[in-house]
Structure 1
Amino acid sequence: MEASQEFTLVGIKNEAATEKINKPTLTFWQSVWHRLKKNKLAVVSLYFLAAVAIFALASTAVVSQSDANQFNTNAGAKYKSLPPKSGLPIPLWDGKGTVLGSADKVDVYEKNDVKQNFLFGTDNLGRSLGKRVTVGLRISLFVALAATAIDLVFGVSYGLISGWFGGWVDTLMQRIIEVISAIPTLVVVTLLAMLFGSGIGSIILAIALTNWVSMARQVRNQTLTLKERDFVLAAKTLGGSGPKIAVKHLVPNMAGTIIVQVMMTIPSAIMFEAVLSAINLGVKAPTASLGTLIADSQSMLQYYPYQILIPATILVLVSLAFILLGDGLRDAFDPKMLDE
């Protein structure tokens, strides 16, 4: 065998024509969406919540609060506690149920000579439960989103100031947070109800005043970490003011933490509103919310379980969707989860 051997290039000789496998360049938000799509439950929750939001907004033109409260006083017994009826032979959704004094299931609509079908049945006053649930979902979402918006603005601002200045300012502001955290939420709600009366405004203030603490702590921790980074030091060297650096550099870099925290705050606010309404400290009747619907139907659970199961199921599904979406966003915003 010869000591030297020439090797011949086989195949494409033009280097520019060779196949190059390059990873596509993605922006930060494209990368987040790419990771989020891998979580099927989070994507389903996102589409479900989008559909719920569209339905809640579109329903304002069809179902008003007065429509949900309307009932026929002259025919109350006729329309009272009608079971759900879809018009199809679907079990538990065919308008059949028991009437007082009898254990046998009959077509309640036919027995009461009711020509109209109520998809979700009626309540103990003969009001359409479908309309009540529609308005209740709208009000519960409005209360939760309004309280979360206040929580977002105040909590982020408080956390930024505390973390940016540090020192005695940070110590004082954190002691204030500890004092507020030690006050039971029920006490705050009761005091607001005494001052302003029970209603939507009081419950929004109560949720906002008690839920912003978690947001402030998260933002403060992120600020303490980010303010020592090179890009923040460079912005200081170039003469950037504190508020400008916070808005232009700190908030965008902690957007993931803020969004995830908001997604976790909304279901908490929805459940909190339902609990307060159930103990008569929240939205007052006849205004419908998911909490008041559950509270009003508790006494009828044994005889008409659908009156509590329908609003309770919607409440659980919406809250669960927010929680699953929050979990998915937390993983999607995690920089350690690199795209494969």
Structure 2
Amino acid sequence: MEYLQDKFKIIGRDTKESEKIYKPSLTFWQDAWRRFKQNKIAMFFLFLIIFFMIVAIVGTHISGYKYMEQHLDKSFLSPGQGIKDRFYLGTDNFGRDQLTRISQGIRVSLMLSLIVVSICIVFGTIYGSISAYFGGKVDFIMTRIIEIVMAIPSLIYIILLMVVMGNSLWTIIIAMSLTRWLNYALLVRGEVLKLKQSEYVMASQSLGANFWWIIKKHLIPNALGVIIVSLTTDIPQIIFTEAFLSFIGLGVPIPQASLGNLVKEGFSYADSYPYLFFIPAVVISLITLSFNIVGDALNDALNPKLRNS
């Protein structure tokens, strides 16, 4: 006992730190954002996406021209030649300001992709949640419906609807939404199948919570991670699909500006006026690359166990 008394001493009660309230630990989303910020490349491309969004909003007001405004006496001005007339990225064959048309094209393409993704998330989440939550025959029938619809390539549905309904922005939105929501339905179904056996879900059921309460409070919030990752990777695919449809003449009708239309129009003059083709092509490439890299980084941030495995 004397030996122990020589080695230890009573330090008394800490009257300063005992009542201190410590900051709670980070939430799931705060922790995911902390991990995402550590990826410097992803942060750069996130700021690039924000830059393109700002260009889409204010770019049409920089030069003061409208995207359909024609100046036939100033057609085919290169970016260097048109600066004094505020044609900072040059003009096309009708003398229309390329900066204004590119910013309008970014706006249309991003608006198109965001509307399609929003519709797909709503319908896909509801459909997949119902299918997985009830299971059994309900899940079997709803899953078979998805498989039957997905058996035919989505591009065939899109082209068929475009031929029947005509070329317009809303036709493209409807055509893409009718096929792309299936992927979200399958994604949410897989997540709900895993989550519905969780203790907090069974606790809510035992307390009398109904289906919509459990879906809204437990299942969908815990499936948001995979939905967000899928959203960021789906947006560039929609933009590329619109560009392909415009290239074959089934996209946003001319003279409306979209990135696909600008690439199609510029391709006709690629030999003589390459800036008409390369500038919108580079914009599409950067937007697609940015969303894909941000999506991969979000997947790593939201699923750290998969990243470390």
Name the counterpart of 1:116. 85
Alignment partners' CA distance in 1, 2:185 and 2:174: 17
The letter for the 1-side match of 2:91 is T
Name the counterpart of 2:75. 80
Cα offset, 1:208, TM superposition: 1.1
Name the counterpart of 1:99. none
State the Cα deviation string for residues 30-69 of structure 1 (Å, max 9, x = none).
Answer: 11111111111222222222232233223466689x8111
Name the counterpart of 1:36. 36
The TM-score, its normalising length taken from structure 1, stands at 0.82
Name the counterpart of 1:67. 66
Q: Is the CA contact (8 Å cut-off) linking 1:207 and 1:272 kept in structure 2? A: no
Name the counterpart of 1:58. 58
> Which of 1 and 2 has greater Rg?
1
Whichever structure has more helix as a proportion of its residues is 2
Name the counterpart of 2:158. 189
Alignment partners' CA distance in 2, 1:134 and 1:5: 78
State the Cα deviation string for residues 178-207 of structure 1 (Å, max 9, x = none).
Answer: 111122223212221233211101111121
Q: Judge which range, 178-187 or 261-270, deviates more.
A: 178-187
Alignment partners' CA distance in 2, 1:49 and 1:242: 37
Change (3 A) 1:63 1:141: farther
Find out whether 1:292 has 2:265 as its counterpart. Answer: no
Q: Is the CA contact (8 Å cut-off) linking 1:163 and 1:223 kept in structure 2? A: yes
Cα offset, 1:335, TM superposition: 5.0
The letter for the 2-side match of 1:71 is Q
Find out whether 1:260 has 2:259 as its counterpart. Answer: no
Find out whether 1:13 has 2:11 as its counterpart. Answer: yes
Cα offset, 1:301, TM superposition: 1.1
Q: Is the CA contact (8 Å cut-off) linking 1:290 and 1:311 kept in structure 2? A: yes
The TM-score, its normalising length taken from structure 2, stands at 0.90
Secondary structure in structure 2 of the residue aligned to 1:336: helix
Change (3 A) 1:297 1:238: same
Matches within 5 A, 1:233-312: 233-312=202-281
Change (3 A) 1:169 1:9: same
Q: Is the CA contact (8 Å cut-off) linking 2:169 and 2:252 kept in structure 1? A: yes
Runs (5+) with no aligned partner, structure 2: none
Q: Judge which range, 47-56 or 140-149, deviates more.
A: 47-56
Alignment partners' CA distance in 2, 1:272 and 1:45: 21
Alignment partners' CA distance in 2, 1:303 and 1:248: 59
Cα offset, 1:304, TM superposition: 1.2
Change (3 A) 1:60 1:5: closer
State the Cα deviation string for residues 64-115 of structure 1 (Å, max 9, x = none).
Answer: 9x81111134x2xxx2211112xxxxxxxxx4xxxxxxxxxxxxx7xxxx95
Find out whether 1:131 has 2:100 as its counterpart. Answer: yes
Secondary structure in structure 1 of the residue aligned to 2:268: helix
Name the counterpart of 1:91. none
Name the counterpart of 1:47. 47
Name the counterpart of 1:207. 176
Q: Is the CA contact (8 Å cut-off) linking 2:67 and 2:101 kept in structure 1? A: yes
Alignment partners' CA distance in 1, 2:26 and 2:11: 32
The letter for the 2-side match of 1:311 is P
Q: Is the CA contact (8 Å cut-off) linking 2:60 and 2:103 kept in structure 1? A: no
Alignment partners' CA distance in 2, 1:322 and 1:173: 31
Runs (5+) with no aligned partner, structure 1: 86-94, 96-108
Alignment partners' CA distance in 2, 1:299 and 1:5: 91
Alignment partners' CA distance in 2, 1:272 and 1:289: 12
Find out whether 1:177 has 2:146 as its counterpart. Answer: yes
Cα offset, 1:319, TM superposition: 1.3
Alignment partners' CA distance in 2, 1:293 and 1:338: 39
